[in-house]
Amino acid sequence: MSSQSSIPWFDEFIGVAYRYFDLRMNVVPLFSDQKESLNLWRDVIHWWVDPSIKIRFVETGNDYWFIMGADSQKQDTNISMYKLLPKSEHYERFKKGHGGEAYLRFGVYTKLTLENSKKDTLCDCGHEASDHDENDGDACLYNTCDCKKFSSFQVNLLKRKKTITDIKFLDEENVKDDVLAWNCLNINKFSKTESS
Ligand SMILES: [Zn+2]
Ligand SMILES: [Zn+2]
C-alpha cells in the first residue's frame, strides 16, 4: 500500500446521501452538476476495482469524516474522496443497517423553488408546495407555521454503480490502524490545523 499516500484527495462535492434502493443501501456522493459527476465517474470511479473499494467513517463529536478510496486500473489518474460532514438521521440509519455492503452511486442534488416543484412536493417546514403562497414571497399558509419561503430539494441517483464490501466505522483513537483513514486525516486534518 505504499502508493496510497501519493493519491490526491478530493472533497469538491456537496455531501453524501444514504438511500435504500435495489435492496441494498446506497452511499451517494452528491454533486450539483450532473456533467461534472458523470465525468468524475468516467475518469476515476469506473476504473476502481470493486473488491478494493473502501469506505471509512471517522466520528468526531457531532461530525464525521467520510473517506473513500480504491485501487484503480488507471493508477496514475486515481483520486481518493473525503468530506467532513454533520451526522444525520440517514447516516445513523446507514451505520445500523448496511449489513457489510452497499452500492456506490453518484447523485445530483437540485434545490427546488416553488416554481419548479410539484404541488405535493414537501417543503422543509413539512407542508406541501400547494400550501405555499406565490403572492406572499412563497410563505407557508398554515397559521401555525412560521415558514416564510418554500425550500426543498431533490436527489437524482445516477444509474451506474459499484459494490462496496469494505466498510468500517472508526474513532479518532483507532484511526492509526487503518491506512486509508490515517492518510486522510494526516493530510486533510492535522496538516490544515497546524497551518491555520
Ligand atoms: Zn414551508
Ligand atoms: Zn409550513
Name which of 155, 34, 41, 147 is nearest 90 in CA terms: 155
Cell of 159: 444509474
- For residue 115, the CA-to-ligand 1 centroid distance in Å is 14
- For residue 90, the CA-to-ligand 1 centroid distance in Å is 21
Of 21-25, 103-107, 188-192, give the lowest mean pLDDT range: 188-192
- Name residue 90's amino acid: H
- For residue 125, the CA-to-ligand 2 centroid distance in Å is 5
Considering every ligand atom shown, identify the ligand nearest to the alpha carbon of residue 151 and give its number.
1
Long-range contacts of 83-86 (CB under 8 A, 24+ apart): 83/11, 83/13, 83/15, 83/16, 83/29, 85/15, 85/16, 86/62
Secondary structure of residue 115 in the 3-state scheme? coil
pLDDT per position as a tens digit, 90-127: 999 999 999 999 999 999 999 999 998 999 999 999 99
- For residue 123, the CA-to-ligand 2 centroid distance in Å is 7
- For residue 33, the CA-to-ligand 1 centroid distance in Å is 25
- Note the Cα 29 to chain centre separation in Å: 3
- For residue 13, the CA-to-ligand 1 centroid distance in Å is 26
- For residue 151, the CA-to-ligand 2 centroid distance in Å is 10
**For residue 2, pLDDT beyond 50:** no
pLDDT per position as a tens digit, 27-76: 999 999 999 999 999 999 999 999 999 999 999 999 999 999 999 999 99
- For residue 155, the CA-to-ligand 1 centroid distance in Å is 19
- For residue 11, the CA-to-ligand 1 centroid distance in Å is 31
Considering every ligand atom shown, identify the ligand nearest to the alpha carbon of residue 113 and give its number.
1
185: enclosing H helix or E strand? helix 179-185
Looking at residue 177, the DSSP 8-state letter turns out to be G
- For residue 145, the CA-to-ligand 2 centroid distance in Å is 5
